[in-house]
Amino acid sequence: MIDLKHYIIPDSLNFSLILIGIFKNFLPETTLNLNQDMLQSFIGGALGYLIIWFIIILYMKIRNVEAMGFGDAKLLSGLGFLFGIQSIFFIIFIAAILGLVFSVPKLLTKKSSLKSAIPFGPFLIAASVIYFFYF
* Residues 134, 94 contacting (CB under 8 angstroms): no
Whether the per-residue pLDDT at 38 is higher than 90: the answer is: no
Residue 28 lies in a domain: no
Whether the per-residue pLDDT at 32 is higher than 80: the answer is: no
For the segment 13-26, what is each residue's pLDDT rounded down to a tens digit?
Answer: 999 999 999 888 87
What is residue 114's predicted lDDT score, i.e. its pLDDT? 80
Domain holding 69, by residue range, is 34-134
Residue 19 lies in a domain: no
**72 vs 6, more confident:** 72
What is residue 33's predicted lDDT score, i.e. its pLDDT? 60
What is residue 25's predicted lDDT score, i.e. its pLDDT? 80
What is residue 127's predicted lDDT score, i.e. its pLDDT? 98
Residue 25 lies in a domain: no
Residue 16 lies in a domain: no
Residue 18 lies in a domain: no
What is residue 55's predicted lDDT score, i.e. its pLDDT? 93
User: How many structural domains compose the chain?
Assistant: 1
Q: What are phi and psi of 66, to 5 degrees?
A: -75, 120
Residue 68 lies in a domain: yes
* Mean pLDDT to the nearest integer, 4-19: 92
Q: What are phi and psi of 111, to 5 degrees?
A: -80, -15
What is residue 53's predicted lDDT score, i.e. its pLDDT? 96
Residue 7 lies in a domain: no
Q: Provide the whole-model pTM.
A: 0.90
pLDDT band at residue 76, thresholds of 50, 70 and 90? very high
